[in-house]
Amino acid sequence: MQETGNPPNASALAGEIQPAVGFSGLGRMGLPLAQRLVESGVPVVAYDRTRGKAEALASSGARWAATPRDLAKSIGKGVTFLMLTDGKAVQSVLFGRSGYARAAPPGGLVVNMSTVDPEESRDFSARLRDRGIHYVDAPVSGSVDQVVRGDVVFFLGGEESEVARTRPLLERMGRKAEPMGPVGAGNATKLVNNLLTIGITALSTEALALADGLHLDRAHVIEVLLEGGGRSAMLERKGPNFLARKYLAQFTTALARKDLKLVEKAAAREGRPLKMTREARKLVDEAMALGHSEDDFSSVFEATLARSRSGGSMPTVTGSAVPGGPTPSGNPPR
């Protein structure tokens, strides 16, 4: 794994005896996050329903747990991180037949880095609290390449004392861990963040399709936009994808759709109309219908180009690609 220097705080904490932490969910995001913990000197006990992923981490020095319940027995009152696909996966790991909560003692701490509905986070927290187990939501802002570099931000929701307990470990994995309020506030912030991230990307594809229609050179347009008022972090990060029309997955289109549905659900609950969000989600649906579910979500550019070729009409949807859309298999984010 390529690094850009030592994990945050590694030198300051070198030589300390670190208690073991648990980690469940070793997908595209979870595995490099767990690796950063191991490489910073933190003993890790890992669980993933695909054992081969945990064995890959074991080669770096981590231990394997056969079930979330076994992981809880190994960690005791320590910290356990979750990096899972959705609320259903979190529910299974925490409260399933071999779930974490069946063996974790009072005083344990779950740090859920998964992107879930804020209401789900509050429900998980309440159910764990009944067992004397603490909970912090700490979703990640950043893509796979940023995780590998340690250049991600965590949005934290939870009690001040538990957030303080969590931050030193999170800062070994990323650049910053920012408290946002009580339980659920971290996930709420993540939804706001992903709405803007996906929306800016979708709008960027329309701007570039317009540039094509006006017979402008796409590469030159991106270069100029990045020097002016049209500059955005997403245009800068996804510009090479738009030029090459290749979409190596850092954050998949299927996950972008899942997050936009969470945004729409939360907005409806709060009575907040999000018309532009609905249009962005339609574009994501179209990209999935074109076969880009497991490509990077910047592949919405292909849906925008398809609209341009067809005079603005949506591509024909076949099979079950939309509205439900194919979802990633496995429990960690893909």
Q: What is the pLDDT of residue 6?
A: 45
Q: What is the pLDDT of residue 327?
A: 35
Taking the C-alpha atoms of residue 322 and residue 126, their distance in angstroms, rounded to an integer, is 34
Domain boundary among 128, 153, 182: 182
Furthest CA-CA distance within the chain: 65
**Could you tell me if residue 4 is inside a domain?**
no
Domain boundary among 150, 182, 214: 182
Q: What is the pLDDT of residue 49?
A: 86
CA atoms within 13 A on the CB side of 265: 13
Residues 160 and 28 in one domain: yes
Q: What is the pLDDT of residue 317?
A: 46
**Could you tell me if residue 326 is inside a domain?**
no
Tokens of 152: 């991600």
Q: Are 223 and 213 in contact (CB under 8 A)?
A: no
Residues 296 and 217 in one domain: yes
More confident site: 64 or 7 = 64
Residues of the domain holding 81: 10-182
Residues 173 and 209 in one domain: no
**Could you tell me if residue 5 is inside a domain?**
no
- Average pLDDT estimate for 226-230: 95
Residues 173 and 193 in one domain: no
**Could you tell me if residue 333 is inside a domain?**
no
Q: Are 20 and 74 in contact (CB under 8 A)?
A: yes
In tens, the pLDDT along 34-93 reads: 999 999 999 999 999 887 777 778 888 899 999 999 999 999 999 999 999 999 999 999
Residues 200 and 178 in one domain: no
Give me the numbers of helices (H) and strands (E) for the chain, helices first please. Answer: 14, 9
The one-character DSSP state at 231 is -
Give the Cα-Cα-Cα angle 313, 316, 322 (nearest 5 degrees). Answer: 110
Give the Cα-Cα-Cα angle 260, 300, 142 (nearest 5 degrees). Answer: 60
What single-letter amino acid sits at 69? Answer: R
**Could you tell me if residue 53 is inside a domain?**
yes
Q: What's the predicted TM-score (pTM) here?
A: 0.86
Residues 155 and 35 in one domain: yes
* Number of domains the chain is built from: 2
**Could you tell me if residue 304 is inside a domain?**
yes
Q: Are 298 and 201 in contact (CB under 8 A)?
A: yes
- What CATH number is associated with residue 160? 3.40.50.720
Residues 249 and 217 in one domain: yes
Taking the C-alpha atoms of residue 101 and residue 106, their distance in angstroms, rounded to an integer, is 10
SS3 letters across 237-302: HHHHHHHHCCCCCCCEHHHHHHHHHHHHHHHHHCCCCCHHHHHHHHHHHHHHHCCCCCCEHHHHHH
- Average pLDDT estimate for 252-256: 96
Residues 72 and 143 in one domain: yes
Mean of all residue pLDDT scores within the chain: 89
**Could you tell me if residue 38 is inside a domain?**
yes
Taking the C-alpha atoms of residue 243 and residue 219, their distance in angstroms, rounded to an integer, is 7
Q: Which residue has the tokens 């408290």?
A: 179
Cα separations in angstroms, 262 against 16, 268, 272, 290: 40, 10, 13, 22
Residues 172 and 199 in one domain: no
Q: In degrees rounded to 5, what are phi and psi of residue 48?
A: -145, 145
In tens, the pLDDT along 142-182 reads: 999 999 999 999 999 999 999 999 999 999 999 999 999 99
Taking the C-alpha atoms of residue 224 and residue 219, their distance in angstroms, rounded to an integer, is 9
Q: What is the pLDDT of residue 16?
A: 52
Tokens of 315: 């591509």
Q: What is the pLDDT of residue 56?
A: 77
Residues 122 and 266 in one domain: no
Confidence of residue 32 (pLDDT cuts 50, 70, 90): very high
**Could you tell me if residue 332 is inside a domain?**
no
Residues 110 and 161 in one domain: yes
The one-character DSSP state at 87 is H
Taking the C-alpha atoms of residue 242 and residue 187, their distance in angstroms, rounded to an integer, is 29
Domain boundary among 182, 213, 246: 182
- What CATH number is associated with residue 279? 1.10.1040.10
Q: What percent of the chain has pLDDT over 70?
A: 88
Residues 159 and 279 in one domain: no
Q: Which residue, among 48, 126, 134, has the nearest Cα to 83 in the 3D structure?
A: 48
What single-letter amino acid sits at 223? Answer: E
